[in-house]
Amino acid sequence: MGENPAKNHYAQLNQGEENEMEIFGYKTQGCRKALCIAGYILSCGALLLLFYWKPEWDVWANCIRCSLEEADIVLLRTTDEFRIYSRKTVTWISVSALIKSRLDYPGTAEEDSVFSKAIMKPSLQVKSIQVQRIRYVWNIYAKQFQKVGALEDHHTCSAIHAKFGSGLTCNERNVRKVICGPNTIDVPVIPVWKLLIKEQSVKLHRLVESHNNITVTVCRNKEGDSCFQELESHHLVPGDMLVLKEGKTLLPCDAILISGQCIVNESMLTGESIPVTKTHLPQADNFKPWRMHCAEDYKKHVLFCGTEVIQTKADDTGVVKAVVLRTGFNTAKGDLVRSILYPKPMNFKLYRDALRFLMCLIAFAAIGMIYTVCVFALNGEEAGEVVKKSLDVITIAVPPALPAALTTGIIYTQRRLKKKGIFCISPQRINMCGQLNLICFDKTGTLTEDGLDLWGLLPCERDCFQDIHSFPADHSLPWGPVFRAMAVCHSLIVWEGKIQGDPLDVKMFEATNWVIDDSSGHKIEGQGSTHATVVRPGPKASSAPVEGVAILHQFPFSSALQRMSVIAQEIGGEQQVFTKGAPEMVAMLCRAETVPLNFESKLLLYTAQGFRVIGLACKSLQAGKQSTDLTREEVESDLTFLGLLIMENRLKRETKPVLEELSAARIRSVMVTGDNIQTAVTVAKNAGMISATNRVILVEANKIPGSFSASITWKPLEENKTEDYRGLAKAMGLEPRSPRVFTSAAPVQDDSPPTTERRIRLALASGQYHFAMSGKSYQIVAQHFRHLLPKLLLNGTVFARMSPGQKSSLVEEFQKLDYFVGMCGDGANDCGALKVAHAGISLSEQEASVASPFTSRTPSIACVPELIREGRAALVTSFCMFKYMALYSTIQYLGVLLLYWQLNAFGNYQFLFQDLAITTVIGVTMSFTGAYPKLVPYRPPSQLISPPLLLSVVLNILFSLSLQVFGFVVVQEQPWYSKTDIYSACLSVNNHMENSSSISSLGLHGMRDGAHGQTDNGYKSYENTTVWLLSTINCLIVALVFSKGRPFRQPIYTNYVFILVLIGQLGICLFLVFADIDDLYSKMDLVCTPTTWRISMVIMLAVTLAASFLVEEAVIENRPLWLLLKKTFRYHSKSHYKRLQRVLEQDSAWPPLNETFFSDSVAISVEGSMGGHSNPTFDSNEDAL
């Protein structure tokens, strides 16, 4: 039965969001429910269990379709490829106790809110459902379920100040509290009997318990007057007014800052240890919702739950206030916890194939059931016995421990990663790490050092660059606009006695030798009592004509805008704006007459050497204007260009060796950065991403003004032949020799010698070229040249000036080409890309970050090959365990079916010994084998349905079948064999011994006991003993043969525990083979056989071991053989990127060099796809700008 969306029966929940779902309305029907209850009883709970695993069947059986408004049960279905169903019961919340009269009805703040629209009259009840810890209420007017626990998005900036600026009334707060529920992130500790996830639940409980009970101060609105009240944080509701006091404060909710300024430590969520400056929400009087108005900067006004406020600065109101935006699981911290509790399913071939294989085993079991019924029914067995025996076959053929066995490798890998400082919140992604073949790296702080060294300053006066000022220099920087920009244009703070902030800002400020005076309450002329940060000359500073400069207002750095600005005022002087950021962006904001004509050539000269270049600009403000009244657009316009700040960003020591290791393992490395394209290309060359013999082709795309079309140009990026860094500084007074700047969309004729042209063409023909492009070009290509994008990505190595949304989009485009993509970054600007990648690795000091599934405590990319190694080991371990569990169940299945032929079976202790003493112990210890230290240039198979793996399983099944059938048949041919006298073998042998009479009597006594025992269970027979001993030791053989070592795991002998276990188990089995202890044999349902037969069984097992081992090593693990077979049968990879590679190899016209193409079609909107993953901490609307 499927879903046919009908009017009012179907709707969408969280439309456009990552957790989008379809929702269907149903009403419980009494007669259907009664029939289902009868079915539960008659099936002994089997139907109930089926409905537990298939909630949609439960709803379809118990309920009838109805509108969502009438529904008492809703069925939810995810809109992703998995289409997972879940069932939720509609509950009713009563608010009648809070609303006794019309006067008590929610007031001004509630008029257009979901709270007033959800209350049904006259019952005064609210209809709600809870999905993944988030509560949704039924909006009577919109006829849909809406999320509560968060402030509505439609509020404008001025509305937030006006409606919530003085706090909620007691009645409004009480209504919201009842409807939203408490502001807590509750993770109940799972009971001991649910041990599988106990450890995780305990850790999550500890992670969230710290913020559930914090005492906070709120502002209450009592008859128009505001008063302060202290209460526990779990009483907070959206719209409450928080008052933030001085000192450190842990935030119990997400809140919008509406007055004052805060310095916040967000490392718990982002992994960034640098404090972040939060500014208050502007009182803009327009009709745009506050988020749309603030665009990308909206998060600069939001304080996130779980972060710590380390410093507050009040404005002229004297109080730092924030409006509660989200509570409970709606918060940023709640989002992190929910991502752990409800991980997104991974569409990995291993898991899909495991289900298919399970279906095959079930079909296998069905054949066995039919065989069992036929054998026992034809021999006149009772119906009950026939049913019992046939059901036994299912439990034998389909191993119930299979899912647990597949996860053991992941669990042990997770522990090994933790010891190496790599933490994981999404364990199912570990196996995917074994398939990674492309890694995207951020540059700054990932490939290069976090810290920057100030190399030089190139000041600009009267639209001309002056002589460069080198650092460190004998003479200090002269006082002037450039000096003031370096002293104030930053977001540094003094925390615990040290200057804290962005490493670039720290280096720049330290070069001035000024100090930060962070004491509060500085009286600034014309600004009232402002808690401003003041910078003053330090003891080592050169003389300055001012006492200090106050930083009145900050516009924090924005990745999308690529700049930051401050409004500063000299003590006793005028107000000025200072801006710093990407040189190209800063130059665009400056008056054209202030930007030097050779700006681009100078910029290219430095970026080509790998320097990081920052542009500086300023302007004066009109007197009398309040800094808080100015918008960012007003501040950052008509600036005067001041010059370029040149910083040296060295590669980390481990960067080059790691990239070389990845390259040797045929894993692509791609740089995705927000830095300048020339700097990025130089760093890529220095790091080894681009070898010295390879060519770099710059891809430039531009929109054609006045039309809907665009152009794209391919140009070879020529290296600037300059002297070394110090020599370059001396030469800076001269104009560099016609450096190539590719700003035009038209073809540029190459003026290099013919030999250079031939060299470039030769490199292109051999595929030794790399594309480099900017974020702007990438977006235009994605919109106008969609057909070229896959070709560009195939050889794209450097992507510069990329916004967070573009990074996410790039990762998704690589995934569409069937790459398994890893992303390694700092966890902040890379958040979206880290989330959408198959394996996102955040370099952070925190154990868990909302940014990515993996977090490395060591800020080094050395964690990337480590994670790939462990992922490959975990993947191979999963295959080994799967093969072993499949063989173990098949071996037992074959043995039981053979014995069923004689109406016999294994005894209870025999089953227990195989299941517990053998398989369970092997399942636990086989996965201990660690990862092989060297990355080989190929990956393990990603699917179970692969020829080598299937051949391995099939051949070993045939070996096991041959072994057991051979033993079963040959034992019946032995001269001492008797079908009725199970003691004849030992009796006939012992008759030749000296004390034959005593032995004979003992034998006869034993026979009588045995006869009695045989009537008790009927398991004892020569066939049973032979088949059971052979099948048990055969399990040990396949465990040894399948314990694959090199090239992905360490050799088997390094797994000491597993080897000791195998030796111990083999010793016990051989003891059972050769021992002749009546009590032991009686318990194990074994019978005595002659020594010659026991030796024969050992020889059979040795032959099976040799055959199995030979096939596994000479055929299954013989990589050259499989490559030869692929070549012989002309098998080619079906991966999109491989097919594209083969096509481009035949295309002599690709890539087009020194050519320009024009688009002739309407642009494709990619704004949606540029967003990538969205989460509360790093949501971005940059694509709407």
| C-alpha distance from residue 415 to each of 169, 192, 423, 465, 877 (Å) | 51, 21, 9, 57, 15
H or E element: which one contains 1064? helix 1056-1074
Catalytic residue among 254, 392, 442, 675: 442
Q: Whose CA is closest to 201, among 406, 340, 327?
A: 340
Q: Confirm whether 1147 is a catalytic residue.
A: no
Q: What is the DSSP string of 634-645?
A: HHTSSBEEEEEE
Strand pairing partners for 580?
Answer: 564, 616
Residue 615: which H helix or E strand, with range?
strand 611-620
Our CA angle for 770, 772, 777, nearest 5°, is 140
Pairing of the two strands 668-672 and 796-800 = parallel
Q: Report whether 843 contacts 827 (CB < 8 A).
A: yes
CA angle 988, 994, 1000 (to 5 degrees): 45
Q: Which residues pair with 144 in a beta bridge?
A: 139
Report the distance separating Cα 646 and Cα 649, nearest Å.
10
Interhelix angle 46-53/55-62, nearest 10 degrees = 110
**Reduced to 3 states, what is the DSSP secondary structure of residue 949?**
helix
Q: Tell me the CB-side half-sphere exposure of residue 909, using CA atoms within 13 A.
A: 12
Residue with the two structure tokens 């196996």: 431
Return the closest-CA partner of residue 618 out of 659, 660, 582, 567: 567
- CA R_g for the chain: 37
The whole-angstrom separation of Cα 471 and Cα 511 is: 8
Residue 139 and residue 146 in contact, taking contact as beta carbons nearer than 8 Å: yes
Cβ neighbors of 2 (< 8 A, separation 6 or more) are none
d(CA 671, CA 677): 10
Nearest to 702 by CA among 694, 713, 717: 713
Of 540, 547, 537, 448, give the one whose Cα is nearest residue 486: 537
- 1046-1055 b/e with 16+ CB inside 10 Å = b? ebbbbebeeb
**Is 292 within 8 Å of 358 (Cβ atoms)?**
no
Residue 516's identity, in one-letter code, is I
Give the H/E segment covering residue 65.
Answer: strand 63-65
- Say whether 766 sits in a helix, a strand or coil: coil
* 490 touches 502 (CB < 8 A): yes
Residue 1168 corresponds to which tokens in the numbers above? 């949606």
Phi and psi at residue 661, to the nearest 5°: -65, -40
Structure tokens at 1040: 């040894």
CA distance 397 to 389: 13
Instruction: Give the catalytic positions in this structure.
Output: 442
